[in-house]
Amino acid sequence: MASPINFNQFLEKEKLKSNGSNFTDWFRHVRIFLSGGNLQFVLDAPLGDPPAEDESDEVKAVYATRKTRYSQVQCAILCSLESDLQKRFEHHDPHELMNELKAIFETHAAVECYEASKHFFSCMMEEGSSVSEHMLAMTGHAKKLSDLGIVIPNRLGINRVLQSLPPSYKNFVMNYNMQNMNKELPELFGMLKAAEIEIKKEHQVLMVNKTTSFKKQGKSKGKFKKGGKKAATPPMKPKNGPKPDAECYYCKEKGHWKRNCSKYLADLKSGLVKKKKEDNNDEDPATYEEAMMSPDSNKWQEAMKSEMGSMYDNKVWTLVDLPDSRKAVENKWIFKKKQMLMVILLSIKLDLSQRVSDKFKELTTMRLSHL
């Protein structure tokens, strides 16, 4: 048999408001309360009609006990409603009462869920604001969604927090993703607090403003000696040009170079010849996006991880605070393929091949000469 209901235990909970704004929380409290007293059957089915007069006393006793339980639950639910809702549902069966409340306020719960998810995915941290306040706001939105039955996976929550950070945390986000860290939210919060201290110091670094320009001082055309007399400027030496016997590699005539050859310049202008260009496939990516879209994206990513790790290990920079009215110097990745090693190996291989060939000729000649 179900245990008696402690009405005070439920009446201490928050009452259902007339506008249904807290319906989700209130309905969860009702189900928990009824489950503790083994009375959840009241919400699953109506009480039903009373037994007939010719039914046994045992059946009539069971129905009377069931009716008492329904009345107790009805009183508990009515006491947990505000006065407007009490007047409206005073004579309703508890099963019918709950169905009507769900039909009225479940739409409001869907709107509440939409608003909570909207706040969670649009919450952005302002530049210079506190990380603690931002994390409290994000945690509050996530808890609201959890109360509405929407559980946010840890990885999705981490990505949403990283996306909500201002531009000053760009390096922190890049390092977190490149190191492929998989932290829990409390661990990420600790890392953000440490990064916040370093970023505040970085904002006070004395940087040269981009608008600052430096002009070279004009040079005097002549030198002055003691006594105020101006010394004569030595004459400019003429630039060395092609020698009379220099041969052009293009027209094979003498007295000029290929770059000054009138025939070569005319053919170049008319499109008969083209300058040699490197293959587009060998060009280095100009931006981070191009590097990630290139066939060598995995190699570029490994190179960036190695470079960042090396700079962290060697303490390349020291973070200090940036003074007011100053702007930090921007930075970017520069991607360059190092092919010098391949050229050296190729030249060594060719040199060894030539030496082997010369040695073979020498041995062959020596053998033939001794026959």
Instruction: Write the pLDDT tens digit of every residue in 361-371.
Output: 565 555 444 44
Reported as a single tens digit per residue, the pLDDT across 287-336 is 887 788 777 888 888 888 888 888 878 877 777 777 777 777 777 778 77
Q: What is the pLDDT of residue 342?
A: 46
**Who wins on pLDDT, 69 or 315?**
69
Q: For residues 302 and 180, what is the distance between their CA atoms, to the nearest angstrom?
A: 12
Burial class of residue 317, CB neighbours in 10 A (0-12, 13-18, 19+)? exposed
Mean pLDDT of the region 166-175: 89
276 vs 274, more confident: 274
Rounded (10°) angle between helices 23-36 and 94-122: 130
Mean pLDDT of 39-61: 84
Q: Check pLDDT > 70 for residue 231.
A: no
Contact assessment for residue 337 and residue 282, using Cβ atoms and an 8 Å cutoff: yes
User: Is the model's pLDDT at 20 over the cut of 50?
Assistant: yes
pLDDT of residue 16: 81
Mean pLDDT of all residues belonging to the chain: 75
In this structure, which amino acid lies at residue 303?
A
* Report field, pTM of the whole predicted structure over 0.85: no
What's the rounded Cα separation, in Å, for the pair 332 and 330? 7
Between residues 8 and 272, the one the model is more confident about: 272
